[in-house]
Amino acid sequence: MAAAPERRLSTDHPRLEQVSTRVVFVGSPATCENCGREIETGSRHKRLLFRTDASTISTFEEFATCDTACLESFVATR
């Protein structure tokens, strides 16, 4: 039986943004970056991270939107 070929991760540049869904558990309610509605504590919301490269240090800015439609609209205007 032949060994399976080794798989390696792509060495391309990292993605510039990452979209994920998370649950807000604590703290004051967030506000949707697109429509301004309050995102209730404990609700699911969309989170968008923009990678900003400053020399060799990478940092992330976080923007919260209340749903996918607001997220897509927010991204289209940036």
* Per-domain boundaries in the chain: 17-76
Tens of each residue's pLDDT in the chain, 78 residues = 555 555 444 444 444 444 555 554 455 667 788 888 887 665 565 565 555 566 555 555 566 777 778 878 877 776
Q: What is the pLDDT of residue 15?
A: 44
* Residue 36: closest CA among 14, 64, 8: 64
pTM of structure: 0.43
User: According to the model, what pLDDT value does residue 1 have?
Assistant: 53
Q: State both tokens at 46.
A: 């969309």
Per DSSP, the chain holds a count of helices (H) and strands (E) of: 1, 5
